[in-house]
Structure 1
Amino acid sequence: MAADFSVVLDELDTTLRSIEAVLDVDRLRREVAELEQQASAPDLWNDVEAAQALTSKLSYLQGDLRRVEELRSRLDDVGLLHEMAVEESDEATAAEAERELASLRQAIDELEVRTLLSGEYDSREALVTIRSEAGGVDAADFAEMLMRMYLRWAERHRYPVELYDVSYAEEAGIKSATFAVKQPYAYGTLSVEQGTHRLVRISPFDNQGRRQTSFAGVEVLPVVEQTDHVDIPENEIRIDVFRSSGPGGQSVNTTDSAVRITHLPTGIVVSCQNEKSQIQNRAAAMRVLQARLLARRQEEQRAEMDALRGEGSSWGNQMRSYVLHPYQMVKDLRTEQETGNTSAVLDGDIDPFIEAGIRWRRQQESVPAS
């Protein structure tokens, strides 16, 4: 048993050293110190948006540094605890060391997943859009279930969310929704959720109680930053204003504050109706449009690279199934990750799927082209 403990301890030590190297702990300490100095500036909050971005980044990096330092300290302590238990033949202390080692393995695995987020835009905040697809009213209901799932996931992690637009369906559910997860690395984390999600269940909207399959699409984009240079000339957009509407077509407010922007060269249409003023809605809609155009530019660049390499897409668009009847199961079609606890997943417990997706993506990226 002692030999097994030592083997696992050595494995975790190696993994943690790798994480410390990737995160570059010394650089991380310097960066945190620099940001703390900037955050103490008396005129920091003169520019509220810049101040929020700085304090958010500082909080995230402080969390990274604290996690890796605490894990190193715990790993050193558990080794000493186990040595003491062996020397004194203390079974209770040995059992405590085993429990702590298991807890450390999970925590180090989770931190290792974070170090796999090294893509160009992975450190960005995320812009998530959910749309109902094939399946009528069931698809609209499913889209709303997915929106709740992601909002609950963000709530579990205490990530701030800003809801930009919800388009409600006639009978139930939503046609589409767009929201931002305002947390560093939210894009890298959630980008593996992009694709078509499939629901199989007994339809609550079918009076004959038949089984129904419906689909909803999830799009995840990186929030645009000033360095991205996504310029949109005024003559390339058409702006329409209209009255915000809620479930059942009811008017949310009495002024024409909702904004719809059409990008004429591409036909991309975005809208925002969550803010109280037309100016705020226009600014939010422009952020969404910039993100869509940035994603389009990325897709074109990827297509060019794939054409040069003679490659196509490595997997289909359908990425996860949620089966509620005749059995209960959520299964990812890429990673084979699955669970029978469908209610927990739909309540936001999706970290195992996200982590498996991030590891799968890294494996795909490291496979040499044939």
Structure 2
Amino acid sequence: MAGPDYDTEIKQLTATMSTIEQVLDLPGMEREISELETQVAAPDLWDDQANATRVTGRLSLLQGQVERFAALKGRVEDLAIMVQLAVEEGDADAAAEAEVELGKIKKAVEALEVRTLLSGEYDEREAIVSIRAGAGGVDAADFAEMLMRMYTRWAERNKYPVEVYDVSYAEEAGIKSAEFAIHAPYAYGTLSVDAGTHRLVRISPFDNQGRRQTSFAAVEVVPQLEQTDEIEVDENDIRTDVFRSGGPGGQSVNTTDSAVRLTHIPTGIVVSCQNEKSQLQNKAAAMIVLKAKLLAKKKAEEAALKKDLKGDVAASWGDQMRNYVLNPYQIVKDLRTGYETGNPQAVFDGDIDGFLEAGIRWRRGADKAEEN
């Protein structure tokens, strides 16, 4: 075992952890945790439910971050001891175990380092993801369903709960659209870099002549709102339609008109929800999504105004941001970051962390360039 190489690796990991600690401001986080714990202990906390939800949510988030950092720092320290013992005793098995642990720790540290780049106003929120089939007919609908599976599999890999609000199935195959929430801290900040148009090139399984087909699907990511977010929606601006829930091929899965579609007339934003049996529950869930989309639209308009005032000093996010090519060769490539892999099947099975991390770093670089 090459001791000096391990020494260098561990020193780099230790230095990176020190940088992360400074960025996170661990002492400041611990002070805030102490203050929040005092508030949580107050007997009248739940007299104001909105504030109680905010306080307990923030406390849980901070505690999780501190515990995650402490656990990872402990692993780095334990690795140094493991390597030292393996060298002193000439234990090949221990050396092999240390090498495996080193690889795992490097990935964990890199992921935590990327997390520190998520400092936007809503980055720490949970995410609502919308997928819509674009140009390409039945292939586009099939592609949209592939993308939905990709994100839900990613969530499953990370043990993040997924709540499906609505799926509109296409007649022949795939889906016209889908809307679902991923309940995890920083899900919005992490997945927002995937917003845009995705492009698939493959031999169409729906073409009798076996021709190559290009299809598109749009991905939208908005932050889950909290009760304290101020988004007022005039009931007079909303048209409510109720309909019967449906499954693949239009097959009825519900004998009552429990599904709800809300249309925000001033903006034209439409959201649907059919995952609950109760019409009232579906309407409440649809309203959550509608408000989240209205907030995202408001922020986008504000950002566009600032950009107009400052001038277009950096390349904006184009519509087409990632290509999935299955024929004549196999590659998935992000057009903004240049990150790519030759294993599309793994990507469609939820292995997208490399793309997400590259996107987060790219966005931070673009933001810094614009600031300068």
Q: TM-score, normalised by structure 2?
A: 0.90
Residue pair 1:241, 1:259 contacting (<8 A) in 2 also: yes
Change (3 A) 1:275 1:99: closer
Q: Distance in 2 between matches of 1:302 and 1:119?
A: 13
By how many angstroms is 1:24 displaced? 2.4
| Structure 2 counterpart of 1:228 | 229
| Structure 2 counterpart of 1:333 | 335
Change (3 A) 1:147 1:47: farther
Which residue identity lines up with residue 334 of structure 2 in the other structure? D
By how many angstroms is 1:315 displaced? 3.5
Which residue identity lines up with residue 333 of structure 1 in the other structure? L
| Structure 2 counterpart of 1:290 | 291
Residue pair 1:56, 1:183 contacting (<8 A) in 2 also: no
Q: Distance in 2 between matches of 1:162 and 1:37?
A: 33
Which residue identity lines up with residue 258 of structure 1 in the other structure? A
Residue pair 2:332, 2:344 contacting (<8 A) in 1 also: yes
By how many angstroms is 1:255 displaced? 1.1
| Structure 2 counterpart of 1:324 | 326
- Cα deviation 1:219-248 (Å, max 9, x = unaligned): 000112233211001111111111112211
By how many angstroms is 1:32 displaced? 4.9
Is the partner of 1:140 in helix, strand or coil? helix
The correspondence of residues 255-294 of structure 1 with structure 2, limited to 5 A, is 255-294=256-295
Change (3 A) 1:89 1:304: same
| Structure 2 counterpart of 1:151 | 152
Change (3 A) 1:158 1:84: closer
- Cα deviation 1:40-60 (Å, max 9, x = unaligned): 889999999998887766555
The correspondence of residues 176-325 of structure 1 with structure 2, limited to 5 A, is 176-311=177-312, 313-325=315-327
- Cα deviation 1:225-282 (Å, max 9, x = unaligned): 2332110011111111111122111222111111111111112111111111110111
Residue pair 2:261, 2:273 contacting (<8 A) in 1 also: yes
- Cα deviation 1:127-181 (Å, max 9, x = unaligned): 1000000000000010011111111111111111111111111111111000011
By how many angstroms is 1:329 displaced? 1.3
Q: How many residues align?
A: 370
Change (3 A) 1:329 1:54: farther
Q: Distance in 1 between matches of 2:95 and 2:345?
A: 37
Q: Distance in 1 between matches of 2:358 and 2:64?
A: 22
Residue pair 1:122, 1:189 contacting (<8 A) in 2 also: yes
More moved, 223-232 vs 140-149 = 223-232
Q: 2:357 aligns with which of 346, 355, 358?
A: 355
Residue pair 1:127, 1:223 contacting (<8 A) in 2 also: yes
Point out where structure 1 has 5 or more consecutive residues left out of the alignment: none
Q: Distance in 2 between matches of 1:354 and 1:213?
A: 24
By how many angstroms is 1:98 displaced? 4.4
Q: Distance in 2 between matches of 1:246 and 1:310?
A: 47
Point out where structure 2 has 5 or more consecutive residues left out of the alignment: none
Is the partner of 2:351 in helix, strand or coil? coil
More moved, 37-46 vs 109-118 = 37-46
Q: Distance in 2 between matches of 1:275 and 1:41?
A: 35
Is the partner of 2:228 in helix, strand or coil? helix
More moved, 318-327 vs 120-129 = 318-327
Which residue identity lines up with residue 285 of structure 1 in the other structure? A
Which residue identity lines up with residue 229 of structure 2 in the other structure? D
By how many angstroms is 1:318 displaced? 0.7
Is the partner of 2:181 in helix, strand or coil? strand
Residue pair 2:54, 2:226 contacting (<8 A) in 1 also: no
Change (3 A) 1:48 1:151: farther
Residue pair 1:56, 1:184 contacting (<8 A) in 2 also: no
Q: Distance in 1 between matches of 2:46 and 2:169?
A: 37
Is the partner of 1:228 in helix, strand or coil? coil
RMSD after superposition:
2.7
Residue pair 2:50, 2:227 contacting (<8 A) in 1 also: no
Change (3 A) 1:368 1:190: closer
Identity %: 64
Q: Distance in 1 between matches of 2:162 and 2:95?
A: 44
Which residue identity lines up with residue 323 of structure 1 in the other structure? V
By how many angstroms is 1:31 displaced? 4.8
